[in-house]
A and B are shown apart, each in its own frame.
Chain A
Amino acid sequence: EVQLVESGGGLVQRGGSLRLSCAASGFTFRTYLMGWVRQTPGKGLEWVSSMSGAGLTTYYADSVQGRFIISRDNSNNALYLQMSNLKNEDSGRYYCVRGGGCTGGNCYTSDNWGQGTLVTVSS
């Protein structure tokens, strides 16, 4: 059974930083694109970032480009999202998702989601 468990969310001041983690199990992690999707009151569901299985290709939404960094540790089946210079509009629930991105000329969406971790940015 595929399991994705996020952690690292919390309350942070505007301009601060936070690192989200996702522990994956139940599948061959290194062979899958992985990503982060957030759900915010203002914009609904928004794809934040994705990374290829080997970690060589990354995707970022324009709204987070230059502030967020996605990474992965295939030896420990873990995905991360380093968030910096956080803004009020970054507040929301962040989901770790399996899939999401393009490889070999094909694009793939996400077929499994974690339960999410809540990020709150305060002024």
Chain B
Amino acid sequence: EIVMTQSPVTLSVSPGERATLSCRASETVGTNLAWYQQKPGRAPRFLIYSASGRATGVPARFSASGSGVEFTLTINSLQSEDFGVYYCQQYKDWPFTFGPGTRVDVK
């Protein structure tokens, strides 16, 4: 199965600053890559599809890029509601697999 890794494990950011999260796949997934945000006690929320497409209702401060094995999620001007855990997930091959997550917290 394709193994997803994410870095850093934790990212401490001040409100208004930029956060850059990384995701790597153990083999190429093309652009079959999604990002999810999860807050405590809540289900993951779909943010990004096809490596760079924003899901409906996702603010423009969220941007994503990458293809193959290296991917990035950038959150510009971080807002209080953006803190949480972010997961990348590949859907090129079954089983679809998730990364372990990056926690974005308040600096």
Q: Which residues of A contact B44 (CB under 8 A)?
A: 45, 95, 113
Interface size range on B against A: 20 to 34
Q: Is A46's CB within 8 Å of the partner chain B?
A: yes
Q: Which residues of B contact A62 (CB under 8 A)?
A: 1, 95
Q: Which residues of B contact A108 (CB under 8 A)?
A: 91
Q: Is A32's CB within 8 Å of the partner chain B?
A: no
Contacts known (A109-B34, A109-B49, A115-B43); A44 close to B94, Cβ less than 8 A: no
Interface size range on A against B: 20 to 34
Within 8 A of A (CB), among B9-68: 32, 34, 42-46, 49, 55
Nearest Cβ distance between residue B72 and chain A, in whole angstroms? 18
Nearest Cβ distance between residue A61 and chain B, in whole angstroms? 5
Tell me the B residues contacting A by CB distance below 8 Å.
1, 32, 34, 42-46, 49, 55, 87, 89, 91-98, 100-101
In the A-B complex, the 8 residue pairs with the smallest Cβ-Cβ separation, listed nearest first, are: A45-B98, A113-B43, A109-B91, A47-B96, A109-B34, A111-B46, A107-B91, A59-B94
Tell me the A residues contacting B by CB distance below 8 Å.
44-47, 50, 59, 61-62, 95, 100-102, 107-116
